[in-house]
Amino acid sequence: MNYALIIAGGSGNRMGQDIPKQFMHVDNCPIIIHTMKAFQQHPDIHGIAVVCLAGWETVLQSYANQFNITKLKWIFPGGQNGQESIHNGIYGLREAGCKDDDLVLVHDAVRPLLSQDIISSNIAICQKYGYAITGIKCREAILESDDGFTTSTSIPRDKLIRTQTPQTFRLGNLIQAHEEAKAKGITNSVASCTLMAELGGREMHIVPGSEKNIKITTVEDLEILKALMKVQPETWLK
Ligand SMILES: C[C@](O)(CO)[C@H](O)COP(=O)(O)O
């Protein structure tokens, strides 16, 4: 079985709005529901779990009912950071009876333009190799800065990959990684892929992502999202 684990535990401070960004409406629908629709629509996704910001669980369930997201099976509590939220999600899935061999597609609630192809490739690559990370090659020149204002250091971009989600693993492998992280005192890795890299000993395979698989973090991202939805309302899901 293949399950989407949607991470919606954040309060979205960088957006500077009263409503958490995953619950903001675009095109008359909350961003998180746009995201869930992509998994709802995919024939090889058997269930959706959401790790949800405290206090928003009932709102989420109501929206899921309203927009006919019938695959939503579980809502788990969010954590203090992304790593803790994913931890809550995977232990929740195990307690709910999911098997170690089941695939878990960990996905940001605020990446609503996820394509069906990216979901399919994540499943195929994870089934074949065990660890699938969505990513795109870095096309910009990269500089390093200590203070955010000045720089004199360039980093060659040729080997750099900008990661996206989904990031897909077998449930048992994810749980093992989080147990190892606990033993090593790693508590705040940025993403599942960075956690796997920090732990070492795992080769992750890259699934081609898309510039359209945008992460909504700032008001500017919101404007880009609205423009993309206007220009290509049908094609972004392909
Ligand atoms: C997981 C991620 O989307 C990969 O690009 C990204 O790291 C999430 O970052 P955030 O700090 O949770 O917004």
Asked if 123 and 88 count as a contact pair (C-beta separation under 8 A), the reply is: no
Place of tokens 């900008």: 162
Which residues have a Cβ under 8 Å from the Cβ of 180 and sit 6 or more positions away? 199
Asked if 7 and 77 count as a contact pair (C-beta separation under 8 A), the reply is: no
If you average pLDDT over residues 117-133, what whole number do you get? 98
Give me 91's structure tokens: 């232990």
pLDDT band at 237 (very low <50, low <70, confident <90, very high): low
The chain-wide mean pLDDT, for the chain, equals 95
Query: Which atom of ligand 1 is nearest to 165's Cα?
Result: 3
Query: Which atom of ligand 1 is nearest to 217's Cα?
Result: 13
Query: Regarding predicted confidence, which is higher, 88 or 13?
Result: 88
- Give the residue whose CA is nearest to atom 6 of ligand 1: 191
pLDDT band at 10 (very low <50, low <70, confident <90, very high): confident
Domains and CATH numbers, the chain: 2-230 (3.90.550.10)
Find the 186 Cα to ligand 1 centroid distance in Å.
17
- Give the residue whose CA is nearest to atom 1 of ligand 1: 191
The finding on whether 191 has its CB within 6 A of some atom of ligand 1 is yes
Query: Measured between alpha carbons, how far is residue 13 from residues 9, 16, 25, 92, 192 in Å?
Result: 12, 5, 17, 26, 21
pLDDT in tens, 43-71: 999 999 999 999 999 999 999 999 999 99
Asked if 142 and 155 count as a contact pair (C-beta separation under 8 A), the reply is: yes
Predicted TM-score (pTM) of the model is 0.95
Which residues have a Cβ under 8 Å from the Cβ of 40 and sit 6 or more positions away? 48, 68, 69, 70, 71
Instruction: Quote the ipTM score.
Output: 0.96
- Give the residue whose CA is nearest to atom 13 of ligand 1: 217
If you average pLDDT over residues 162-178, what whole number do you get? 98
Where in the chain does DSSP place strands (E)? 2-8, 25-26, 29-30, 47-52, 72-77, 103-108, 131-137, 142-144, 153-155, 161-170, 205-208
pLDDT in tens, 82-99: 999 999 999 999 999 999
- Give the residue whose CA is nearest to atom 11 of ligand 1: 190
The finding on whether 166 has its CB within 6 A of some atom of ligand 1 is no
Give me 127's structure tokens: 């089934």
Exposure string of 56-85, with b = 16+ CB inside 10 Å and e = fewer, is: beebbeebbeebebebbebbbebbeebbbb
Question: For residues 160 and 143, what is the distance between their CA atoms, to the nearest angstrom?
Answer: 12
The finding on whether 190 has its CB within 6 A of some atom of ligand 1 is yes
If you average pLDDT over residues 209-232, what whole number do you get? 94
Find the 98 Cα to ligand 1 centroid distance in Å.
25
Nearest to 111 by CA among 47, 46, 162: 162
Find the 164 Cα to ligand 1 centroid distance in Å.
7
The finding on whether 215 has its CB within 6 A of some atom of ligand 1 is yes
